[in-house]
């Protein structure tokens, strides 16, 4: 007879590569039943009208079920996740823990104009209503989204990875930049943490942008000393890369020695003129962009400017600690 407390890991279609890396890492960690940790069988049956239905090949009765799925491009992937949560609960899973490396709709975190939705709150309600007991995610667009959930939220920061990457670059005149005013708190966190790690606090540069409309930047002004500096911009999302590329251009015009960026979630969408973000970055004055694998982009392998770093080790460690009822605070840096 199987004991009740057992870990079972599944993934939806969009995050399969990420889930495979997580499971490989889990097998190397100290878990009660580490020999049984594997990526479980989950089939998504598609119907001719576009409807789909999940089916678990393995019994999940009494198990702690982890479902890995990012909700980018977000409607199909979100609906697939909700159905998988529902299926696990109806199959008598003891706990259903949602692992969402990228939480879509997070930019809709408030009413920024009359008569509009707060999409992040609605999605939080949907995940809870589907039956999730806990959610794990990374670099939410706004801190307050954690409060939208009525279940525990484990919020990882990509700064765990990027801070080490910045130190490894050994930039002689490092400055940390935010591509917009809203990211000033994040930039300050990086600067103060680097002071703790290295003894020197890099100066902060702030870019102030205005928009004509969504995904289209009108003007961008740079605040701070740029001349001769090796600038690293930090942000949570690259969408069409308009802001990033415009900021890099302005920084180079003001005499920056080099411009790099560390950005967690790479949406890499097409802008209103039909230009993809990847091509825009390739043609821009930015020297390097570091992104994570929370959103899969196999086409970036070998890209001359965009480097992918993995969050899978951190997610695996967090999943292991939650499953083993051990503290998860050692996995995190202080929130920014």
* Active centre residues (catalytic): 209
HEC readout, the chain:
CCCCCCEEEEECHHHHHHHHHHHHHHCCCCCCCHHHCCECCEEEEECCCCCEEEEECCCCCCCEEEEECCCCCCHHHHHHHHHHHHHHHHCCCCEEEEEECCCCCCCCCCCCCCCCCCHHHHHHHHHHHHCCCEEEEECCCCHHHHHHCCCCEEEECCHHHHHHHHHHHCCCCEEEEECCHHHHHHHHHHHHHHHHHHCCCCCEEEEEEEEEECCEEEEEEEECCCCCCEEEEEEEEECCCHHHHHHHHHHHHCCCCEEEEEEEEECCCECCCCCEHHHHHHHCCCCEEEEECCCCCHHHCCCCCEEEECCHHHHHHHHHHHHCCCCCHHHCCCCC
């Amino acid at each position: 007879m199987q004991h009740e407390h057992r870990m079972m890991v599944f993934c939806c279609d969009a995050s399969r590569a990420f889930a495979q890396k997580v499971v490989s890492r889990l097998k190397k960690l100290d878990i009660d039943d580490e020999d049984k940790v594997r990526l479980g069988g989950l089939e998504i049956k598609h119907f001719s009208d576009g409807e789909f239905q999940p089916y678990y090949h393995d019994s999940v009765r009494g198990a702690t079920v982890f479902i890995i799925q990012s909700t980018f491009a977000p409607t199909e992937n979100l609906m697939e996740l909700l159905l998988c949560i529902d299926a696990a609960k109806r199959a008598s899973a003891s706990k259903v823990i949602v692992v969402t490396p990228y939480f879509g709709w997070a930019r809709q975190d408030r009413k920024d104009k009359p008569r509009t939705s707060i999409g992040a709150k609605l999605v939080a309600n949907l995940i809870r209503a589907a039956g999730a007991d806990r959610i794990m995610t990374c670099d939410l667009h706004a801190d307050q989204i954690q409060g939208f959930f009525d279940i525990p939220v484990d919020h990882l920061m990509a700064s765990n990875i990027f801070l080490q990457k910045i130190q490894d670059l050994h930039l002689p005149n490092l400055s940390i930049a935010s591509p917009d005013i809203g990211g000033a708190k994040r930039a300050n966190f990086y600067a103060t943490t680097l002071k703790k790690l290295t003894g020197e606090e890099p100066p902060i540069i702030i870019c102030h942008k205005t928009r004509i409309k969504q995904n289209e930047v009108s003007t961008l002004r740079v605040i701070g000393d740029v001349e001769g500096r090796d600038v690293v911009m930090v942000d949570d999302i690259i969408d069409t890369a308009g802001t990033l590329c415009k900021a890099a251009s302005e920084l180079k015009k003001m005499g920056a020695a080099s411009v790099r960026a560390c950005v967690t979630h790479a949406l890499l969408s097409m802008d209103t003129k039909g230009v993809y973000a990847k091509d825009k970055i390739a043609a821009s004055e930015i020297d390097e962009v570091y992104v994570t694998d929370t959103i899969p982009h196999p086409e970036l392998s070998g890209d001359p400017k965009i480097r992918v770093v993995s969050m899978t080790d951190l997610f695996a460690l967090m999943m292991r600690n939650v499953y083993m009822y051990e503290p998860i605070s050692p996995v995190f840096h202080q929130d920014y």
